[in-house]
């Protein structure tokens, strides 16, 4: 991170559709989404179950075309304290956030993001002296996390969660690398929160380095932020790469950060709410359960190291960003599919695989469990190589269950087409391989929450056999030219 005393500007900010520059913060992003007709405003919903149930019912009822929802006048809280859900859960909002061409087709956004990654360059954040996040600062005895309407989202949850669409900022004690991850944060009392971090995740590795030295782990938890920062925090960015710089590269200009009072951690100058303190190695408090992204309550309520919060920074009329995972689709599932698909596609091509036509991580698999890659076969073994690379890519290997490889005439987003290819081009005895002892986590319902956090996955080649591809029976369907002529003449029957 570089140092400066004024807000930063880049010579090459990303142009966003009709806008000449990226949005400045979450509030300007909300204004733009509202102008697109993709924001719903709901007044008077209770933090206790109502907000979670409304989000669940809206997003399940409008898969692929769901709004962001801004809740205000939440009972028991100042009327201008708000909750925002479903931040990037439509192709158009996701494209707007990333500064990509706005489209309703999720594969357009996948392809544009993958193209962006070919020229993506990191842009470090810039330290500034002040920002809106410092409008209010509560210290020590004045700290009360429940000043904000942390929701009780699901009936079976173990408590209220203030961190569900959030950023957890830590600094590696060896290298000084600042990592930003997205981990769930449960409220225990006015100044104590639990942070559940899956083994193997970067934040867990950093936390454990402090614990091994008998030290608490400094932490800053951002509970309302620019959606672009959340996308970098919530997806697999390479070890040692700063998420502020990763998001800045997509923005085309750096993010402004201010230094936290206790631990000199960079926090977004335009964030809404930030909690700062230390994760204590000897402060073990039962955490969970929480309805998670697999659609299950996975893992028992168990003791986890908790954090003591000693500073709370927040803007006037703060906006708490919330994700409410349920059985999919839910308020974050589509955006996860798009981001994972693009990142896998980019990583597979960087590994040297030619001929990739598209990648799609299906929403029923919540962007992780059922991933399909379409290729133009060029040589014997090409299809299996594609499947192995998808299964092993950093963005695709955590908690994956199925990888399906299809020919380039199959739309990987169309589950009917994918199943048809599996049924007609896959011989189960010879075209399915099982990869055992792969990386999984405690949220995988089949791990039973035990210490051995691994799974198996099926690599399914649903392609015409390359060695006799020219002899494979032709597909029965009209040619593209005939379909075009029929649509021109008889389109009124086909709309």
In a domain, 327, yes or no: no
d(CA 149, CA 318): 10
pLDDT tens for each residue of 63-94: 878 899 999 999 999 999 999 999 999 999 99
Number of domains in the chain: 2
d(CA 96, CA 22): 9
d(CA 274, CA 223): 6
Give the highest mean pLDDT range of 53-62, 209-218, 393-402. 209-218
Any bridge partners for residue 181, and if so which? 168
In a domain, 317, yes or no: yes
Residues 304 and 418 in one domain: no
Q: Write down the pTM of the prediction.
A: 0.87
Q: In the predicted model, is pLDDT for residue 37 greater than 80? A: yes
Residues 282 and 226 in one domain: yes
Q: 389: part of which helix (H) or strand (E)?
A: helix 382-392
Residue with tokens 């203030």: 162
In a domain, 459, yes or no: yes
**Alpha helix ranges (H) inside 300-440:** 333-350, 382-392, 415-425, 428-431
Residues 292 and 375 in one domain: no
**Alpha helix ranges (H) inside 173-234:** 202-212, 227-233
Task: Reply yes or no: is the peptide bond before residue 415 cis, omega within 30 of 0.
Answer: no
In a domain, 132, yes or no: yes
Residues 393 and 451 in one domain: yes
Residue with tokens 């919530």: 234
Q: What domain range is 261 assigned to?
A: 10-322
d(CA 182, CA 187): 16
d(CA 445, CA 316): 41
d(CA 93, CA 335): 9
Residues 17 and 103 in one domain: yes
In a domain, 256, yes or no: yes
Residues 6+ apart with CB under 8 A from 309: 143, 145, 191, 192, 193, 275, 276, 277
Over residues 247-270, the mean pLDDT reads 97
Nearest residue to 192 via CA among 305, 27, 93, 68: 305
In a domain, 341, yes or no: no
Q: In the predicted model, is pLDDT for residue 97 greater than 50? A: yes
Q: What is the CATH number of the domain that holds 121?
A: 2.30.110.10
Over residues 243-271, the mean pLDDT reads 96
In a domain, 458, yes or no: yes
Domain-terminating residue out of 303, 322, 341:
322
d(CA 71, CA 406): 42
Of 425 and 201, the one with more pLDDT? 425
Residues 267 and 206 in one domain: yes
């Amino acid at each position: 991170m570089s140092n400066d005393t004024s807000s930063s500007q880049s010579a090459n900010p990303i142009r966003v559709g009709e806008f000449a520059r990226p949005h400045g913060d979450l509030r300007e992003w909300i204004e733009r989404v509202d102008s697109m007709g993709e924001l719903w405003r709901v007044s008077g919903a209770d933090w206790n179950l109502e907000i979670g149930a409304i989000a669940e019912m809206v997003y399940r009822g409008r898969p692929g075309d769901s709004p962001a929802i801004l809740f205000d006048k939440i009972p028991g809280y100042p009327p201008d304290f708000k909750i925002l859900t479903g931040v990037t859960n439509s192709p158009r909002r996701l494209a707007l956030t990333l500064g990509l061409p706005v489209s309703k087709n999720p594969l357009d956004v996948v392809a544009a993001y993958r193209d962006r990654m070919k020229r993506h360059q990191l842009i470090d954040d810039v330290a500034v002296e002040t920002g809106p996040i410092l409008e209010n600062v509560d210290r020590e005895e004045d700290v009360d996390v429940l000043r904000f309407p942390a929701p009780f989202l699901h009936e079976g949850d173990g408590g209220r969660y203030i961190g569900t669409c959030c950023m957890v900022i830590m600094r590696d004690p060896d290298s000084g690398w600042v990592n930003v991850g997205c981990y769930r944060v449960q409220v225990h009392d006015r100044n104590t929160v639990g942070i559940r971090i899956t083994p193997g995740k970067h934040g867990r590795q950093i936390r454990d380095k402090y614990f091994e030295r008998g030290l608490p782990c400094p932490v800053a938890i951002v509970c309302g932020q620019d959606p672009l920062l959340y996308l970098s925090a919530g997806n697999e960015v390479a070890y040692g790469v700063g998420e502020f710089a990763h998001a800045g590269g997509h923005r085309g200009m750096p993010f402004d950060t201010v230094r936290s009072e206790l631990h000199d951690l960079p926090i977004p100058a335009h964030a809404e709410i930030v909690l700062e303190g230390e994760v204590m190695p000897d402060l073990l408090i039962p955490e969970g359960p929480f309805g998670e992204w697999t659609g299950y309550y996975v893992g028992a309520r168990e003791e986890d190291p908790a954090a003591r919060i000693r500073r709370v920074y927040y803007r006037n009329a703060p906006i708490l960003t919330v994700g409410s995972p349920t059985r999919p689709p839910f308020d974050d599932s589509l955006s996860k599919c798009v981001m994972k698909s693009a990142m896998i596609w980019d990583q597979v091509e960087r590994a040297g695989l030619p001929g990739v036509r598209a990648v799609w991580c299906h929403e029923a698999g919540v962007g992780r469990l059922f991933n399909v890659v379409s290729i133009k076969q060029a040589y014997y073994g090409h299809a299996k190589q594609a499947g192995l690379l998808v299964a092993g890519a950093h963005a695709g290997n955590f908690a994956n269950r199925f990888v399906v490889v299809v020919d380039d005439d199959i739309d990987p987003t169309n589950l009917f087409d994918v199943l048809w290819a599996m049924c007609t081009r896959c011989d189960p005895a010879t075209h399915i391989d099982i990869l055992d002892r792969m990386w999984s986590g405690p949220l995988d319902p089949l791990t039973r929450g035990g210490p051995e956090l691994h799974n198996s996955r099926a690599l399914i080649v649903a392609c015409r056999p390359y060695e006799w591809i020219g002899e494979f029976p032709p597909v029965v369907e009209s040619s593209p030219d005939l379909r075009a002529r029929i649509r021109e003449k008889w389109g009124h029957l086909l709309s």
